Structure 1
Amino acid sequence: MYKNFATKLLFFALLLLSTLCSLKAQTAFRIVSKPIIFDAERRQLTLDYLEKRHGLKQSEPTIHPLMVVLHWTDIMSLEKTFDVFNRSTLPGARKEIASASALNVSSQYVIDRDGTVYQLLPDTVMARHVIGLNYCAIGVENIGSDQYPLTEAQLLANEQLIRYLKLKYPIEYVIGHYEYNLFRETDLWKESDSSYRTEKTDPGRDFMKRIREKIKDLNIKGVPDHK
Protein backbone atom coordinates (compact mmCIF):
# COMPACT_ATOMS: atom_id res chain seq x y z
CA MET A 1 0.00 0.00 0.00
CA TYR A 2 2.77 2.42 0.94
CA LYS A 3 4.66 1.59 -2.24
CA ASN A 4 1.60 2.39 -4.37
CA PHE A 5 1.02 5.61 -2.44
CA ALA A 6 4.64 6.69 -2.93
CA THR A 7 4.42 5.93 -6.65
CA LYS A 8 1.25 7.98 -6.99
CA LEU A 9 2.78 10.81 -4.99
CA LEU A 10 5.86 10.81 -7.22
CA PHE A 11 3.65 10.81 -10.34
CA PHE A 12 1.63 13.82 -9.18
CA ALA A 13 4.81 15.65 -8.12
CA LEU A 14 6.30 15.15 -11.58
CA LEU A 15 3.03 16.23 -13.20
CA LEU A 16 2.97 19.38 -11.07
CA LEU A 17 6.61 20.14 -11.92
CA SER A 18 5.90 19.68 -15.63
CA THR A 19 2.88 22.00 -15.41
CA LEU A 20 4.83 24.65 -13.53
CA CYS A 21 7.66 24.51 -16.10
CA SER A 22 5.12 24.85 -18.90
CA LEU A 23 3.44 27.81 -17.20
CA LYS A 24 6.83 29.42 -16.57
CA ALA A 25 7.72 29.11 -20.27
CA GLN A 26 4.39 30.63 -21.25
CA THR A 27 4.45 33.49 -18.76
CA ALA A 28 8.09 34.30 -19.58
CA PHE A 29 7.04 35.54 -23.02
CA ARG A 30 6.96 39.32 -23.06
CA ILE A 31 6.97 41.92 -25.80
CA VAL A 32 8.91 45.06 -24.94
CA SER A 33 7.86 48.20 -26.77
CA LYS A 34 10.82 49.95 -28.43
CA PRO A 35 9.32 52.04 -31.25
CA ILE A 36 11.44 53.36 -34.09
CA ILE A 37 10.70 56.73 -35.69
CA PHE A 38 7.60 56.71 -37.86
CA ASP A 39 7.33 60.37 -38.79
CA ALA A 40 5.62 62.06 -41.73
CA GLU A 41 8.60 61.36 -43.99
CA ARG A 42 8.65 57.65 -43.23
CA ARG A 43 4.88 57.45 -43.58
CA GLN A 44 4.97 59.00 -47.04
CA LEU A 45 7.91 56.87 -48.14
CA THR A 46 6.01 53.78 -46.98
CA LEU A 47 2.90 54.80 -48.93
CA ASP A 48 5.08 55.44 -51.99
CA TYR A 49 6.72 52.04 -51.60
CA LEU A 50 3.36 50.29 -51.37
CA GLU A 51 2.21 52.01 -54.56
CA LYS A 52 5.37 51.93 -56.69
CA ARG A 53 6.82 48.58 -55.63
CA HIS A 54 3.72 46.58 -54.71
CA GLY A 55 1.11 48.31 -56.90
CA LEU A 56 -1.07 49.17 -53.91
CA LYS A 57 -2.37 52.72 -53.66
CA GLN A 58 -3.44 53.20 -50.05
CA SER A 59 -4.38 56.05 -47.76
CA GLU A 60 -2.68 54.38 -44.79
CA PRO A 61 0.66 52.49 -44.67
CA THR A 62 -0.92 49.32 -43.35
CA ILE A 63 -0.68 45.63 -44.13
CA HIS A 64 -2.89 42.57 -43.69
CA PRO A 65 -0.50 39.97 -42.25
CA LEU A 66 -0.52 36.56 -43.94
CA MET A 67 3.13 35.69 -43.40
CA VAL A 68 5.96 35.89 -40.87
CA VAL A 69 9.48 36.28 -42.26
CA LEU A 70 12.41 35.43 -39.97
CA HIS A 71 15.76 37.21 -40.39
CA TRP A 72 19.08 37.70 -38.71
CA THR A 73 20.63 41.14 -38.42
CA ASP A 74 24.32 40.59 -39.18
CA ILE A 75 24.75 43.25 -36.47
CA MET A 76 25.70 41.84 -33.08
CA SER A 77 24.06 44.50 -30.94
CA LEU A 78 20.43 45.35 -30.23
CA GLU A 79 21.18 49.06 -29.86
CA LYS A 80 23.19 49.24 -33.10
CA THR A 81 20.39 47.42 -34.91
CA PHE A 82 17.89 49.87 -33.46
CA ASP A 83 20.01 52.81 -34.59
CA VAL A 84 20.18 51.40 -38.13
CA PHE A 85 16.39 50.96 -38.34
CA ASN A 86 15.45 54.13 -36.47
CA ARG A 87 16.08 56.67 -39.24
CA SER A 88 13.41 57.12 -41.92
CA THR A 89 15.71 56.99 -44.93
CA LEU A 90 18.32 54.51 -46.08
CA PRO A 91 21.92 55.25 -45.13
CA GLY A 92 24.27 55.93 -48.02
CA ALA A 93 25.94 52.54 -47.62
CA ARG A 94 22.84 50.66 -48.88
CA LYS A 95 23.36 51.54 -52.54
CA GLU A 96 22.32 48.07 -53.73
CA ILE A 97 18.70 48.69 -52.69
CA ALA A 98 18.55 52.51 -52.74
CA SER A 99 17.41 52.54 -56.39
CA ALA A 100 14.16 50.85 -55.37
CA SER A 101 13.29 53.39 -52.67
CA ALA A 102 14.79 55.77 -50.14
CA LEU A 103 12.65 54.14 -47.44
CA ASN A 104 14.84 52.67 -44.72
CA VAL A 105 14.76 48.97 -43.89
CA SER A 106 13.15 47.84 -40.66
CA SER A 107 10.99 45.12 -39.15
CA GLN A 108 8.11 44.90 -36.75
CA TYR A 109 10.11 42.88 -34.21
CA VAL A 110 13.71 42.31 -33.09
CA ILE A 111 14.71 39.43 -30.82
CA ASP A 112 17.90 39.81 -28.78
CA ARG A 113 20.38 37.00 -28.05
CA ASP A 114 18.77 36.36 -24.65
CA GLY A 115 15.33 35.88 -26.25
CA THR A 116 13.88 39.27 -25.31
CA VAL A 117 11.33 40.34 -27.92
CA TYR A 118 11.22 44.04 -28.86
CA GLN A 119 8.47 45.57 -30.96
CA LEU A 120 9.63 48.38 -33.25
CA LEU A 121 6.46 48.93 -35.27
CA PRO A 122 2.82 47.90 -34.94
CA ASP A 123 2.09 44.53 -36.54
CA THR A 124 -0.06 46.10 -39.24
CA VAL A 125 2.27 48.94 -40.26
CA MET A 126 4.45 48.09 -43.25
CA ALA A 127 8.16 47.56 -42.70
CA ARG A 128 10.65 47.21 -45.55
CA HIS A 129 12.31 43.85 -44.93
CA VAL A 130 11.49 41.41 -47.75
CA ILE A 131 11.27 42.10 -51.48
CA GLY A 132 7.89 41.46 -53.05
CA LEU A 133 6.09 40.56 -49.82
CA ASN A 134 6.31 43.53 -47.42
CA TYR A 135 2.62 44.30 -47.93
CA CYS A 136 1.57 41.01 -46.25
CA ALA A 137 4.56 40.06 -44.08
CA ILE A 138 5.51 40.68 -40.46
CA GLY A 139 9.30 40.81 -40.13
CA VAL A 140 11.17 39.32 -37.18
CA GLU A 141 14.86 40.22 -36.97
CA ASN A 142 17.14 38.21 -34.71
CA ILE A 143 20.45 39.51 -33.39
CA GLY A 144 22.92 37.13 -34.99
CA SER A 145 24.71 36.14 -38.18
CA ASP A 146 26.18 33.21 -40.08
CA GLN A 147 29.23 33.44 -37.81
CA TYR A 148 27.10 33.78 -34.66
CA PRO A 149 24.12 31.40 -35.13
CA LEU A 150 20.89 32.15 -33.32
CA THR A 151 20.55 30.95 -29.74
CA GLU A 152 18.24 28.49 -28.00
CA ALA A 153 16.60 31.45 -26.27
CA GLN A 154 15.90 33.01 -29.66
CA LEU A 155 14.47 29.74 -30.94
CA LEU A 156 11.98 29.67 -28.07
CA ALA A 157 11.15 33.37 -28.44
CA ASN A 158 10.51 32.98 -32.18
CA GLU A 159 8.22 30.03 -31.50
CA GLN A 160 6.28 31.95 -28.86
CA LEU A 161 6.01 35.05 -31.04
CA ILE A 162 4.75 33.03 -34.02
CA ARG A 163 2.14 31.38 -31.82
CA TYR A 164 1.07 34.79 -30.53
CA LEU A 165 0.80 36.23 -34.06
CA LYS A 166 -1.09 33.18 -35.33
CA LEU A 167 -3.75 33.82 -32.69
CA LYS A 168 -4.15 37.42 -33.91
CA TYR A 169 -3.92 37.08 -37.70
CA PRO A 170 -4.61 34.52 -40.44
CA ILE A 171 -0.93 33.63 -40.80
CA GLU A 172 -0.50 31.15 -43.66
CA TYR A 173 3.28 31.07 -44.04
CA VAL A 174 6.40 31.22 -41.87
CA ILE A 175 9.56 31.52 -43.96
CA GLY A 176 13.22 32.36 -43.69
CA HIS A 177 14.39 35.45 -45.54
CA TYR A 178 16.46 33.25 -47.87
CA GLU A 179 13.24 31.63 -49.12
CA TYR A 180 11.44 34.75 -50.34
CA ASN A 181 12.38 34.18 -54.00
CA LEU A 182 10.31 31.00 -54.02
CA PHE A 183 7.18 33.16 -53.97
CA ARG A 184 7.94 34.91 -57.25
CA GLU A 185 5.58 32.66 -59.23
CA THR A 186 2.72 32.88 -56.72
CA ASP A 187 -0.24 35.23 -56.39
CA LEU A 188 1.29 36.69 -53.24
CA TRP A 189 4.25 38.17 -55.10
CA LYS A 190 3.98 41.92 -55.74
CA GLU A 191 7.12 43.62 -57.05
CA SER A 192 7.09 46.02 -59.97
CA ASP A 193 10.68 45.29 -61.06
CA SER A 194 11.19 41.63 -62.00
CA SER A 195 14.98 42.03 -61.83
CA TYR A 196 15.01 43.44 -58.30
CA ARG A 197 16.33 40.81 -55.90
CA THR A 198 19.04 40.19 -53.32
CA GLU A 199 20.67 36.95 -52.21
CA LYS A 200 20.04 36.03 -48.58
CA THR A 201 20.99 33.22 -46.20
CA ASP A 202 19.26 34.39 -43.02
CA PRO A 203 18.24 33.12 -40.55
CA GLY A 204 19.98 29.88 -41.50
CA ARG A 205 18.55 26.60 -42.82
CA ASP A 206 19.10 24.73 -39.56
CA PHE A 207 17.21 27.38 -37.60
CA MET A 208 14.25 27.21 -40.01
CA LYS A 209 14.19 23.42 -39.80
CA ARG A 210 14.07 23.61 -36.02
CA ILE A 211 11.43 26.34 -35.85
CA ARG A 212 9.20 24.42 -38.25
CA GLU A 213 9.48 21.36 -36.04
CA LYS A 214 8.47 23.48 -33.04
CA ILE A 215 5.35 24.94 -34.72
CA LYS A 216 4.23 21.96 -36.80
CA ASP A 217 1.04 21.68 -34.72
CA LEU A 218 -0.05 25.08 -36.09
CA ASN A 219 -0.21 23.67 -39.64
CA ILE A 220 1.45 26.79 -41.08
CA LYS A 221 2.94 26.46 -44.55
CA GLY A 222 6.59 26.89 -45.36
CA VAL A 223 7.48 27.58 -48.98
CA PRO A 224 4.73 27.37 -51.61
CA ASP A 225 4.02 24.26 -53.63
CA HIS A 226 4.78 24.86 -57.28
CA LYS A 227 2.64 22.79 -59.60
Structure 2
Amino acid sequence: MHAMPAVHLEPLPYEPLLPLREPEAIDLVVIHCTELPDLAMAREYGERVLYDSGTGNSGHYYIDRDGSIHQYVAPERSAHHVRGINPRALGIELINTGRYPHWLDSRHQAMDELYAQAQIQALVALLRWLPQRLPALRWIAGHEDLDTEQVPASDDPALKVPRKRDPGPRFPWDEVLAAIPLQRLSE
Protein backbone atom coordinates (compact mmCIF):
# COMPACT_ATOMS: atom_id res chain seq x y z
CA MET A 1 0.00 0.00 0.00
CA HIS A 2 1.26 3.44 -0.92
CA ALA A 3 0.34 6.53 1.05
CA MET A 4 -1.72 9.21 -0.63
CA PRO A 5 0.60 12.08 -1.58
CA ALA A 6 -0.26 15.59 -0.45
CA VAL A 7 -2.83 16.95 -2.89
CA HIS A 8 -4.20 20.49 -2.91
CA LEU A 9 -7.92 20.31 -3.73
CA GLU A 10 -8.69 23.28 -6.01
CA PRO A 11 -11.79 22.34 -8.03
CA LEU A 12 -12.49 24.31 -11.18
CA PRO A 13 -15.68 26.40 -11.00
CA TYR A 14 -17.41 24.16 -13.57
CA GLU A 15 -16.34 20.82 -12.03
CA PRO A 16 -19.95 19.93 -10.99
CA LEU A 17 -20.99 20.21 -14.67
CA LEU A 18 -18.55 17.52 -15.84
CA PRO A 19 -20.08 14.05 -16.32
CA LEU A 20 -19.82 11.57 -13.46
CA ARG A 21 -18.36 8.14 -14.16
CA GLU A 22 -17.78 4.94 -12.23
CA PRO A 23 -14.24 4.39 -10.90
CA GLU A 24 -14.26 1.01 -12.71
CA ALA A 25 -14.46 2.89 -16.04
CA ILE A 26 -11.04 4.51 -15.53
CA ASP A 27 -8.23 2.30 -16.85
CA LEU A 28 -5.84 4.84 -18.39
CA VAL A 29 -3.69 7.75 -17.23
CA VAL A 30 -2.70 10.29 -19.88
CA ILE A 31 0.43 12.35 -19.20
CA HIS A 32 0.37 15.90 -20.55
CA CYS A 33 2.50 18.97 -20.21
CA THR A 34 0.74 22.29 -20.03
CA GLU A 35 2.90 24.03 -22.65
CA LEU A 36 2.42 27.14 -20.52
CA PRO A 37 4.94 29.01 -18.35
CA ASP A 38 3.43 28.44 -14.90
CA LEU A 39 0.66 26.99 -12.75
CA ALA A 40 -1.24 30.29 -12.58
CA MET A 41 -1.59 30.46 -16.37
CA ALA A 42 -2.52 26.76 -16.50
CA ARG A 43 -5.30 27.48 -14.00
CA GLU A 44 -6.46 30.45 -16.08
CA TYR A 45 -6.63 28.27 -19.21
CA GLY A 46 -8.43 25.53 -17.28
CA GLU A 47 -11.11 27.95 -16.07
CA ARG A 48 -11.99 29.08 -19.61
CA VAL A 49 -15.46 27.91 -20.64
CA LEU A 50 -15.23 26.51 -24.17
CA TYR A 51 -18.29 24.26 -24.52
CA ASP A 52 -22.07 24.68 -24.45
CA SER A 53 -22.06 22.48 -21.34
CA GLY A 54 -20.39 25.36 -19.46
CA THR A 55 -17.09 23.45 -19.18
CA GLY A 56 -13.60 23.78 -20.64
CA ASN A 57 -10.37 21.87 -21.16
CA SER A 58 -8.39 20.65 -18.16
CA GLY A 59 -6.62 17.73 -16.60
CA HIS A 60 -7.55 16.18 -13.27
CA TYR A 61 -4.18 16.74 -11.57
CA TYR A 62 -1.53 19.41 -12.17
CA ILE A 63 2.00 18.94 -10.87
CA ASP A 64 4.11 22.08 -10.52
CA ARG A 65 7.87 22.20 -10.90
CA ASP A 66 8.29 22.17 -7.09
CA GLY A 67 6.44 18.84 -6.89
CA SER A 68 3.18 20.22 -5.49
CA ILE A 69 0.10 18.35 -6.72
CA HIS A 70 -3.13 20.25 -7.43
CA GLN A 71 -6.44 18.51 -8.14
CA TYR A 72 -8.65 20.63 -10.42
CA VAL A 73 -11.14 17.88 -11.31
CA ALA A 74 -12.12 14.88 -9.15
CA PRO A 75 -11.25 11.52 -10.75
CA GLU A 76 -14.91 10.44 -10.74
CA ARG A 77 -15.63 13.22 -13.24
CA SER A 78 -14.71 13.03 -16.92
CA ALA A 79 -12.53 16.04 -17.82
CA HIS A 80 -11.75 17.33 -21.32
CA HIS A 81 -8.05 16.58 -21.80
CA VAL A 82 -7.70 14.26 -24.84
CA ARG A 83 -10.09 13.80 -27.74
CA GLY A 84 -12.03 10.55 -27.83
CA ILE A 85 -10.49 9.08 -24.67
CA ASN A 86 -11.90 11.17 -21.80
CA PRO A 87 -14.53 8.73 -20.41
CA ARG A 88 -11.86 6.12 -19.59
CA ALA A 89 -8.90 8.39 -18.80
CA LEU A 90 -7.42 10.45 -16.01
CA GLY A 91 -5.37 13.46 -17.14
CA ILE A 92 -2.20 14.51 -15.34
CA GLU A 93 -0.68 17.82 -16.45
CA LEU A 94 2.96 18.67 -15.73
CA ILE A 95 3.86 22.35 -15.71
CA ASN A 96 6.35 22.73 -18.56
CA THR A 97 6.71 25.39 -21.25
CA GLY A 98 6.81 22.90 -24.12
CA ARG A 99 6.44 24.94 -27.33
CA TYR A 100 4.91 28.00 -25.61
CA PRO A 101 3.93 30.49 -27.00
CA HIS A 102 4.49 29.31 -30.59
CA TRP A 103 2.75 25.93 -30.30
CA LEU A 104 2.20 25.33 -34.01
CA ASP A 105 5.07 27.36 -35.51
CA SER A 106 7.27 24.98 -37.52
CA ARG A 107 10.39 26.82 -36.30
CA HIS A 108 9.50 26.27 -32.60
CA GLN A 109 8.74 22.56 -32.27
CA ALA A 110 11.58 21.72 -29.88
CA MET A 111 10.50 21.03 -26.31
CA ASP A 112 13.71 21.79 -24.42
CA GLU A 113 12.63 22.29 -20.81
CA LEU A 114 13.67 19.42 -18.58
CA TYR A 115 11.14 18.12 -16.07
CA ALA A 116 12.17 18.95 -12.50
CA GLN A 117 13.14 15.94 -10.38
CA ALA A 118 10.67 17.03 -7.66
CA GLN A 119 7.93 17.02 -10.31
CA ILE A 120 8.78 13.51 -11.49
CA GLN A 121 8.98 12.23 -7.90
CA ALA A 122 5.52 13.68 -7.18
CA LEU A 123 4.18 12.12 -10.39
CA VAL A 124 5.55 8.70 -9.39
CA ALA A 125 4.03 9.00 -5.90
CA LEU A 126 0.66 9.90 -7.42
CA LEU A 127 0.87 7.04 -9.95
CA ARG A 128 1.73 4.55 -7.20
CA TRP A 129 -1.26 5.65 -5.11
CA LEU A 130 -3.96 6.09 -7.79
CA PRO A 131 -4.46 2.35 -8.53
CA GLN A 132 -5.50 1.90 -4.90
CA ARG A 133 -8.32 4.39 -5.47
CA LEU A 134 -9.08 3.33 -9.06
CA PRO A 135 -8.81 -0.48 -9.22
CA ALA A 136 -9.20 -0.75 -13.02
CA LEU A 137 -6.22 1.56 -13.66
CA ARG A 138 -3.71 -0.41 -15.75
CA TRP A 139 -2.41 1.77 -18.57
CA ILE A 140 -0.43 4.97 -19.09
CA ALA A 141 0.12 6.97 -22.28
CA GLY A 142 1.42 10.33 -23.40
CA HIS A 143 -0.96 12.79 -25.05
CA GLU A 144 1.24 12.55 -28.14
CA ASP A 145 0.59 8.78 -28.26
CA LEU A 146 -3.18 9.30 -28.49
CA ASP A 147 -3.53 12.48 -30.58
CA THR A 148 -1.24 12.08 -33.58
CA GLU A 149 -2.99 14.58 -35.86
CA GLN A 150 -0.76 16.76 -38.04
CA VAL A 151 -2.03 20.30 -38.63
CA PRO A 152 -0.90 23.22 -40.82
CA ALA A 153 1.94 25.19 -39.24
CA SER A 154 1.01 28.69 -38.11
CA ASP A 155 4.02 30.21 -39.91
CA ASP A 156 3.60 28.24 -43.15
CA PRO A 157 0.30 26.40 -43.83
CA ALA A 158 2.07 24.26 -46.45
CA LEU A 159 4.00 22.59 -43.62
CA LYS A 160 2.47 20.15 -41.13
CA VAL A 161 3.32 19.98 -37.42
CA PRO A 162 2.02 17.73 -34.63
CA ARG A 163 -1.09 19.13 -32.95
CA LYS A 164 0.11 17.61 -29.68
CA ARG A 165 3.69 16.71 -28.67
CA ASP A 166 3.28 16.38 -24.92
CA PRO A 167 4.73 15.27 -22.66
CA GLY A 168 7.49 15.43 -25.27
CA PRO A 169 11.02 14.12 -25.76
CA ARG A 170 12.30 15.29 -22.35
CA PHE A 171 9.78 13.21 -20.38
CA PRO A 172 11.68 10.41 -18.56
CA TRP A 173 9.51 7.45 -19.60
CA ASP A 174 12.02 4.77 -18.55
CA GLU A 175 12.42 6.23 -15.06
CA VAL A 176 8.68 6.62 -14.51
CA LEU A 177 7.68 3.22 -15.91
CA ALA A 178 10.29 1.44 -13.77
CA ALA A 179 8.76 2.95 -10.61
CA ILE A 180 5.01 2.46 -11.15
CA PRO A 181 2.56 -0.43 -11.52
CA LEU A 182 1.07 0.79 -14.84
CA GLN A 183 2.04 -0.35 -18.34
CA ARG A 184 2.54 1.89 -21.33
CA LEU A 185 -0.40 1.65 -23.68
CA SER A 186 0.76 0.46 -27.08
CA GLU A 187 -0.70 2.24 -30.06
TM-score bracket relative to the smaller structure: 0.7 to 0.9
Which structure is larger by alpha-carbon Rg, 1 or 2?
A: 1
What does residue range 154-165 of structure 1 map to in structure 2 within 5 Å? 154-165=119-130
What does residue range 93-172 of structure 1 map to in structure 2 within 5 Å? 103-144=55-96, 145=98, 146-169=111-134, 170-172=136-138
Instruction: Give 3-state SS (helix, strand or coil) of 2:174's partner.
Output: helix
Show CA shifts across 1:61-116 (max 9, x none). 435211111110011111111011013326xxxxxxxxxx9852111110000000
Cα deviation for residue 147 of structure 1 reads: 3.0
Show CA shifts across 1:166-204 (max 9, x none). 11111110111111158xxxxxxxxxxxxxxx6322112
Query: What letter matches 1:83 in structure 2?
Result: E
Instruction: Give 3-state SS (helix, strand or coil) of 1:141's partner.
Output: strand
TM-score where L is the length of structure 2: 0.73
Greater relative contact order (CA < 8 Å, ≥ 6 in sequence): 2
Instruction: Give 3-state SS (helix, strand or coil) of 2:184's partner.
Output: coil
Tell me the distance in 2 between the aligned counterparts of 1:62 and 1:72: 24
Misfit runs of 4+, over 4 Å? none
Normalized per residue, which structure has more helix?
1
Whether contact under 8 Å (2:14, 2:55) holds in the other structure is no
Whether contact under 8 Å (2:29, 2:141) holds in the other structure is yes
Normalized per residue, which structure has more strand?
2
State yes or no: 1:67 paired with 2:51: no
Which runs of no fewer than 5 residues in structure 2 stay unpaired? Answer: 99-110, 149-161
Provide the alpha-carbon RMSD of the alignment.
2.6
Tell me the distance in 1 between the aligned counterparts of 2:62 and 2:165: 18
TM-score where L is the length of structure 1: 0.61
State yes or no: 1:204 paired with 2:168: yes
Cα deviation for residue 28 of structure 1 reads: 9.3
Whether contact under 8 Å (2:14, 2:54) holds in the other structure is no
Tell me which residue corresponds to 1:32: 8
Tell me which residue corresponds to 1:56: none
Whether contact under 8 Å (2:4, 2:129) holds in the other structure is no
Whether contact under 8 Å (1:37, 1:88) holds in the other structure is no
Tell me which residue corresponds to 1:11: none
Which shifted more, 71-80 or 60-69?
60-69
